[in-house]
Amino acid sequence: MAVDFSLSEEQELLRHEIRRFAEERILPGTRERDRTHTFPAELLREAGEMGLLGMLVGESYGGAGFDPLSYCLAVEEISRICPSVGVTMSVSNSVCSWPIAKFGSEEIKRQFLPDLASGRKLGGFCLTEAGSGSDAGAMLSTARRDRDDYILDGAKAWITNAGVAGTFVVMAKTDPSAGKRGISAFVVDAASPGIAIGAPEEKLGLRASVTAAVSFTACRVPARQMLGVEGGGFKIALATLDHSRLGIAAQAVGMHQRALDLALSYSRERVQFGVPIAEHQAIQFQLAKMSTELAAARVLLWHAAAAERTPAAGRLAAEAKAFASEAANRAVWDSLQIHGGNGFCEEFEIARLYRDVRVTTIYEGTSEMQRLVIARHLLTS
């Protein structure tokens, strides 16, 4: 037991290695991919080779077996350069591989994890529907038992990686009359008959990541591909989101860091009233605020990641996600303000970040849901 904010040697090394990969390989085409809505399949393949897509999967299933903090450092470094690649990676790791590794039978793990962990296949998570966002228990998708199979019917919405993923974790109701206790979780091969992927959504940001509707029509899934027990899906979904919040918080911290770095370099170069604008107190105060909130978001994230196996983990992850995503939005706003008219033009990276960052307070649990989670912990403990 100790209060120790230092990273281990392995964590420092990993961070350094990923930073180099992000700057050398991912950075160059970022703007073009955003402009043309192009998914960087090749970069994801390379990320897979580096072990970045199986960070939370044990070595016996082909993963790299990293601790949660190492994983967060990786998502932060990737998202600093390209949040689209960051979310693609976060979704595959956090909401597909993680629940399979955590709740899957030995057989399911052997069947699905090696491909996910190596990046040969990407993962997706089919929970949200058009009419059930924060209120996941209100979903309409069903899974009807038919001998050794379940038959899935329903429409899922806003599914990250839909169209590029090879494996989905899907939530559907095996007992529609039982509310959220009637929900079960399945691991589904994305190429299964009966699955149709909608046209990619045109989004405000994260345009180099793919988001689309996924519909299931009489889609047969072998019963052995159920995760956990029948009716246990809602708990699996909540546990998964508790954990995945760290990934989104890390993504937000990465964007926050980038917004600060861009503001620092711009304000040192931009001259107004005869001096670099960094010499004006108004600008200095904005920089100081961005830097302080970044430090706060990062310690919340790191602490939540290090404490992932403690009883406070759920509350800490929700705090990290809500704070980091909101702080990142403020920082990106301030950074664009410092960039002035230049920042409003896509030639400057901050314009893309301004669009990309917006979703962090929304997906994988809105800020409002995070606050309800925090309050529930406070009022029941």
Partner 1 sequence: MQIELNEEQVLLRDTVRQFAAEVVAPRAKEIDATGEFPLAYFHQAGKLGLAGVCVPEEFGGAGMDMIAYCVAIEEISRVCASSGVILSVNNSLVCDPLMRYASPEQKRRFLVPLAAGEKLGCFALTEPDAGSDAAALKTTAKREGDEYVLNGSKVFITNATHADTALVFATVDPALKHRGISAFIVPMDSPGFGRGHHEYKLGVQASGTTQLFLENVRVPADQRLGDEGMGFRIAMSTLDGGRIGIAAQAVGIAQGAFEAALKYAQEREQFGHPIADFQAIQFYLADMAMELDAARLLVYKAAWAKENLKRFTLEAAQAKLFASEMAQRVTNKALQIHGGYGYTRDYNVERFFRDARITEIYEGTSEIQKLVIADWILKES
Q: Which residues bind partner 1 (CB under 8 A)?
A: 1-8, 11, 69, 260-261, 264-265, 268, 278, 281, 284-285, 287-289, 291-293, 295-297, 299-300, 302-303, 305-307, 315-316, 319, 322-323, 368, 370-372, 374-375, 378-379
Active-site annotation holder among 42, 347, 364, 368:
364
Identify the DSSP state of 287: H
> Token pair for residue 350?
């901050």
Residue type, 81: I
Q: Compare residues 1 and 199 and give the one whose CB is closer to partner 1.
A: 1
Nearest to 151 by CA among 186, 105, 111: 186
Q: Would you call 319 a catalytic residue per the annotation? A: no
Nearest to 39 by CA among 112, 96, 89, 76: 89
Give the nearest distance from C-beta 247 to partner 1 in angstroms.
17
Nearest to 81 by CA among 138, 24, 41, 119: 24
Cβ neighbours around 178 below 10 Å, total: 12
Q: Compare residues 113 and 249 and give the one whose CB is closer to partner 1.
A: 249
Q: Compare residues 319 and 356 and give the one whose CB is closer to partner 1.
A: 319
Give the nearest distance from C-beta 370 to partner 1 in angstroms.
8
Give the nearest distance from C-beta 18 to partner 1 in angstroms.
17
Say whether 129 sits in a helix, a strand or coil. strand
Q: Compare residues 301 and 353 and give the one whose CB is closer to partner 1.
A: 301
Give the nearest distance from C-beta 3 to partner 1 in angstroms.
5
Q: Compare residues 68 and 99 and give the one whose CB is closer to partner 1.
A: 68
Phi, psi torsion values for 234, nearest 5 degrees: -65, -40
Cβ neighbours around 106 below 10 Å, total: 8
Give the nearest distance from C-beta 52 to partner 1 in angstroms.
20
Question: Rounded CA gap, 80 and 364, in Å?
Answer: 19
Question: Rounded CA gap, 294 and 323, in Å?
Answer: 10
Cβ neighbours around 157 below 10 Å, total: 20
Q: Do the strands 271-272 and 275-276 form a parallel or antiparallel pair, or are they unpaired? A: antiparallel
Give the nearest distance from C-beta 311 to partner 1 in angstroms.
13
Q: Compare residues 155 and 260 and give the one whose CB is closer to partner 1.
A: 260
**What does each C-alpha distance from 232 to 137, 186, 318 come to in angstroms?**
12, 11, 22
Q: Compare residues 217 and 265 and give the one whose CB is closer to partner 1.
A: 265
Nearest to 89 by CA among 254, 253, 247: 247
Give the nearest distance from C-beta 379 to partner 1 in angstroms.
6
Cβ neighbours around 344 below 10 Å, total: 13
Nearest to 235 by CA among 185, 296, 175, 289: 185
Nearest to 353 by CA among 169, 80, 86: 80
Question: Which residues belong to the active site?
Answer: 364
